[in-house]
Each structure stands twice: as structure tokens, then as C-alpha cells.
Amino acid sequence: MQQNALFVENVNEALREAVKAAGGVKVVASKLRPELSVDDASTWLRDCLNPSRRERLDPERVVFILRLAREAGSHVAMQFIGAECGYEVRAVDPEDQKERLQREFLDGVAALTVLANRLQRTGSA
């Protein structure tokens, strides 16, 4: 099992760690650029993660890489980005998130029911 870096110095290094955790350059590049050959996609991704090259990842692809890393259990890149922006980042268990969203949904439905009843009462007076 490969060890993730605990500390990274810049966003490119953080994203390289995320790519490594998500299966490596070839795996991630193929997902990001399926229209390219594996070698061309890999070269493109390496260039995007190299600060001395012009190629850059767009925000949607950065988020995609972060999601892949999270699925692989790596949070180094997300924690680096959060720390750089003054946030504390922690992973949320998908089941906890699902339960929270269900609770918020039910609370919202209850609030709408109350409002609908009040609206109905004011309309019939």
C-alpha cells in the first residue's frame, strides 16, 4: 500500500498526491480526458500539474480529482486547499451526510406544510 504525503508545499503538489491516491496519472488522466489516448492524456495531466508548464486544470477537473482522492481515502489535497484559505476541512461520512440531508428535507416539508395551512386559512377568511 502506498503512503500519502502528510504535508505538501503547494497546490500542484497537493493535486499530484490526490492523483497518486486515486490510482495514478494514467488512471486519472484517462477519466479526465477519455477522448485522448492514455499516453496523451497522461502527458496532458502531468503538464497541468507542473507549475512551469502553461497547461492548467479547470475548476471542474480539480473538483473531480478531489472527489476521486476522497473515494480512495485521501484528504491531503482538500485539507491543503482548506488550510490555504483559512478553513478546517474534515471528511464527512456519506451516510451521515445522507441522514442530515433527509432530516433537512423533512424539516423543509414540515415548514411548507405549516405555511400552506396558514396561507389557506388567510385565503378563506
Q: pLDDT per position in the chain (125 positions), as tens?
A: 455 566 889 999 999 999 999 999 999 999 999 999 999 999 999 999 999 999 999 999 999 999 999 999 999 999 999 999 999 988 887 777 788 889 899 999 999 999 999 989 887 65
Residues 20/8, Cβ–Cβ less than 8 Å: no
Q: What would you measure as the largest C-alpha separation in the chain, in angstroms? A: 72
Which residues have CB under 8 Å from 124's CB, separation 6+? Answer: none
What the block records as the C-alpha cell of 122 is 388567510
